[in-house]
Chains A and B, each alone.
Chain A
């Protein structure tokens, strides 16, 4: 093998090595690009899911709070009616008491 042939073979080998490294860099670059899109996809998926869950929590809270408030109002109305009914039956007694206070205020 002549010297020129040897140099040619080595030059070819160097070209091959450079190609291998270039391919590796390209692959690494693709992996990084994939990462960006993967993170974006993960982000969209996780946040969408969280927002959906949050929305469900709020809808449920609105609905439960409405029911709870209606229940409370119903019970309170019933308790209030009792107080007002009892008070209405005591009106006469209250009037008598006040009349007595006024009339006795000058004794």
Chain B
């Protein structure tokens, strides 16, 4: 082989080697970049799925929370209706009792006596509703109140009838201090206690 041929062959061999290196480097870079891209994309994909799973959990929780709230609300409405019925029926029963003198008279005596005790007076003005003013034996009532208080009390009966289903308003004769002891007021004052007791009886631990 001539010197020239060898020289040209060397030039081409070097070029081929360099060309192979260029291509090999490009291939290596590509493989590496592809691998990195796959890893990155897998993470992105994983994140999409994880987000979907979290959202799915949120959907479940939201659905359950909505239905729980709906059921609770319905139950509460029905319970409230029953409680309202019981309070209404209690009012009617109290009204019935106020018609039954044997049960109502002792209540009225105690009611007036307690009010007088609270006022601490010996002379009072008592106001009854129109029905009681007509039917109640006021002399007997005054006597029974006295017995209950274990002292003589002078009772003046107001001619002005009380707008109430029963009970009385007891006041000082000058009208400056008074105790409202009507059945309606009693019901109102006891309402929260009545609701608690009714709830216990009706619903027990499910109140």
A interface, CB within 8 angstroms of B: 1, 6, 9-10, 12-14, 16-18, 20-21, 23-25, 27-29, 31-32, 34-35, 38-39, 42-43, 46-47, 49-51, 53-55, 57-58, 60-62, 64-66, 68-69, 72-73, 76-77, 80, 83-84, 86-88, 90-91, 93-99, 101-103, 105-107
Contacts and interface: CB of A to CB of B under 8 A. Distances in A.
Nearest to B21: A24
Given A6-B4, A47-B44, A84-B79, 19 more contacts: A16-B12, A16-B15, A28-B22, A28-B25, A31-B26, A31-B30, A35-B30, A53-B52, A57-B52, A57-B53, A83-B79, A83-B203, A83-B206, A87-B203, A94-B202, A95-B89, A99-B94, A101-B193, A102-B94
B26 A32 contact: yes
A20 B12 contact: yes
A91 B64 contact: no
B41 A54 contact: no
Contact of A95 (B25, B42, B93, B181): B93
Pairs of residues from A and B, 10 with the lowest C-beta to C-beta distance, nearest first: A24-B19, A61-B56, A17-B15, A54-B52, A13-B8, A28-B26, A50-B45, A65-B63, A106-B110, A87-B202
A99 B187 CA distance: 10
Contacts of B48: 47, 50-51, 53-54
Contacts of B12: 13, 16-17, 20
A35 to B, nearest CB: 4
B55 interface: yes
A32 to B, nearest CB: 6
Interface of B: 2, 4-5, 7-9, 11-12, 14-16, 18-20, 22-23, 25-27, 29-30, 33-34, 37-38, 41-42, 44-46, 48-49, 51-53, 55-57, 59-60, 62-64, 66-68, 70-71, 74-75, 78-79, 82, 85-87, 89-90, 93-94, 97, 103, 107, 110-111, 114, 181, 183, 186-187, 190, 193-194, 197-198, 201-203, 206
Contact of B56 (A58, A69, A106): A58
B140 to A, nearest CB: 18
Contacts of A27: 22-23, 26
* Residues of B contacting A: mostly: helix
Contact of B71 (A80, A87, A98): A80
B3 to A, nearest CB: 9
A6 to B, nearest CB: 5
A58 B60 contact: no
13 contacts: A1-B4, A9-B5, A10-B8, A24-B19, A24-B23, A43-B41, A54-B48, A61-B59, A65-B60, A65-B63, A73-B67, A76-B67, A83-B203
